[in-house]
Structure 1
């Protein structure tokens, strides 16, 4: 059951909120006729303000309403002014539906409210002079519908919300904040428009449909996937339904696009639940072709992103060759995969990267990409393994940037203090046993950092 008091606090227009608070007080007092009448007053006040705002923004269909409103207000309380306002109120639902402030279903529900309001304030409309006695359930239902379908939503048109969503996703300053995306394009949007937004995001995320010329279809698809991940927190079923409607598009695109789609949507449980066996077999086959032919070759970002799906249990279950393909990569390439998503799953791979780094420059790259950034995720045991591998691998121990990188890792593992001090001391001892004086690689910078406490 809808929490009326909670919804009243969400009403976007502060001038309307007291009107609905009064309607709720009437309801609790048993004055159901007054509550229904007050609810209709709140609806009219809300729609009037929204239509005026659209007129101020240049919406042509709203300008005529605004003109008539100003004319009626100019006449004042004279009989003609009251009649003019009554005529304006009589057509306000049609105007709102035309402007897409409400849909046809909501318009019908609010029309019922309007008719019940007439019965409440004009008892003579009933035969034999009987007074209309609305049921408590009717009064509460009218308040719930008015709040949920209208009053808590800002003055945004259905089509305009969709246009605003697309404009935000394509702008250079796109915000990937889940909280912002949910608040702006989901929580404050009516259900019909909300569903259209989710459907649009799913189509782009899966199919990389073209958008405005200033943004590539791949970047647009990536941003739409970010939006879907944000929306699924609020309504996972709606996101799953949107993916299901558009999933057939994925079977007809090329392999690279299939991998990109799977990688950008991999965080969504719904994707793995919906993928059929032929498509997962195809993705599994494509994954095996991502490994480079040389241990010195860089892994393309798209390939690294696809292989990073290994961090997800559902992806590993659906794609049997994903984990083995990842673990067979050279150290440099595995570090590039770890750099895509810094998550706890990858932390256990850090020591092995240090043990297998095959050259000075690669060792430096591995530590910059996948060791120092993982410092906050390391346990004392993993840190001990990592430093032992660092000390024994000559290419790690004697690379030019390693003395500075060791200090950075020490700072990045601050959360382990003081339990890690013995581990670092052992590391220094092992290094100095392998690098006697006058070696430059005795890590005096790290020792100085440790002495600071």
Structure 2
């Protein structure tokens, strides 16, 4: 059952919260009449306060309402009360225009207002019987008021979506799932919430090139994909609905758009829940074609291709896209490193020794270490790390440029294996100590490891 007290404590406006708490106390003490009257009082106070905020933010349609309130506040009581009574009659219509509430919520709040009048004037019934509201009515009205307006900030439908887009497109955007969901999901009215999620789905699925978006479409789409994942943790069905609305356009889009969407959203269940079967088959054919290209060291995968093939790390997706496993296995070592870079994880650790062994140039060895080995280092077990170090040491093409420093980085990134892992570097250090051609590699690596241990107490 809905935790009513928790909702009461989440009322957005601290000045209105005492009114809502008093309405709640009336309800729990058995005073339905008092609860309903105070609920409507709180709604009025809350909507007026939110209209003021919108007016201060430049919302022109709030000006008349605010001026009427200010006129009442500066008038004598005999004049102020009629002003406020007149305002109360049109308050819900005005705030619906301001998008503080929608049509359905206006109807719910009108019922509260009507019952408030019956509670405040119980003898106005045609036959003179006193109106006796039930406790169920009192609770229903309080819940409706909380869900419609009281727990939400003064956000308008179109304004909250614009605020969301502005936040995500900002050049200084930093993805923080807690802030994102709190600001644009948890504290947003349900009707506006879907608009926010729908906007995220539209850009994440289709990577639309919009002149109003001042960053590259792919970057914006990637940010929106992250937002969708955060929203899905709150309400997976809502995200499924929003993504499903984009599938008609995706189905008609160019194949490149399909592959791009797959790379961004392929690990999101909502994507597969609504993906048309013909598009799914097309994606499998596209992946098969990537594998059939059988790349060499000279052939570089596109980012979209690499992201799509990185889905091989999800066994359940390999059933939906059976071409994934074979396509990945047919890639060259450098191409595999490109794929691993997109989604480092435990699935790829068994491939790392083979990639280092396959390096045929300094550039190739350095790329494999940077794109695959170091990103996956935190997932290595001791046996895998030992094999990685062996292949690294045995292949002369893994000793160019930044590679000695990468060995130090690898030591730091495998600290989850404990201080005993240090012994695994001994064969490398011993070979370097005896190899005059190795120059200062021995001193560089050994001192780097000692420095790490000194700082981290290993």
* 1:318 paired residue number: 320
* Partner in structure 1 of residue 24 of structure 2: 24
**Does residue 385 of the first structure (1) align with residue 387 of the second (2)?**
yes
Partners of 2:332 and 2:400 in 1: how far apart?
18
CA offset digits 1:11-65 (Å, max 9, x no partner): 1111011111111111111111111111111101100001111112221211011
**Cα distance in 1 for residues equivalent to 2:402 and 2:366:** 7
Shift of 1:115: 0.9
Query: Residues of 1 paired with 2:402 and 2:208: CA distance?
Result: 44
Q: Report 1:286-301 matches (<5 A).
A: 286-290=286-290, 291=293, 293-301=295-303
Secondary structure of 1:349's partner? helix
Write the mapping of 1:266-285 to structure 2, written as runs, cut at 5 A: 266-285=266-285
**In structure 1, what is the equivalent of residue 149 of structure 2?**
150
Q: When the two structures are aligned, how many residues end up with a matched partner?
A: 449
Q: Corresponding residue for 2:251?
A: 251
1:348 to 350, 375, 383: 350
Partner of 2:400: 399
1:312 Cα offset (Å): 2.2
Answer whether contact 1:72 1:84 (CA < 8 A) is retained.
yes
Residue deviations 1:293-328, cap 9 Å, x none? Answer: 431333332222222222222322211111221122
Alpha-carbon deviation of 1:292? 6.4
What SS does structure 2 have at the residue aligned with 1:215? coil
Aligned to 1:72: 72
In 1, Cα distance between equivalents of 2:158 and 2:436? 74
Q: Is the 8 A contact 2:294 2:330 kept in 1?
A: no
Name the structure 2 match of 1:423: 424
Please report the RMSD computed on the Cα atoms of aligned residues, expressed in angstroms.
Answer: 2.1
Aligned-residue offset at 1:128: 4.8
Whole-Å separation in 2 of the counterparts to 1:114 and 1:146: 11
- Contact 2:10–2:151 (CA<8 Å) still a contact in 1? yes
Tell me if structure 1 keeps the 8 A contact 2:8–2:24: no
- Would you say 1:167 and 2:169 are equivalent positions? no
Residue 244 of structure 1 deviates from its aligned partner by 1.9
Counterpart Cα distance in 1 of 2:383 and 2:91: 69
1:36 aligns with 2:13: no
Displacement of 1:432 in angstroms is: 4.8
Other-structure match for 1:305? 307
2:410 corresponds to which residue?
409
Rounded to whole Å, the distance in 1 between the matches of 2:446 and 2:169 is: 49
| Alpha-carbon spacing, 1:390–1:125, altered in 2? closer, same or farther (3 Å) | same
Q: 1:72 to 1:400 in 2, by over 3 A?
A: closer
Given that residues 295 and 335 in structure 2 are in contact (C-alpha distance below 8 angstroms), is that contact kept between their aligned partners in structure 1?
no
In structure 2, what is the equivalent of residue 235 of structure 1? 235
* TM-score where L is the length of structure 1: 0.93
Cα deviation for residue 220 of structure 1 reads 3.0
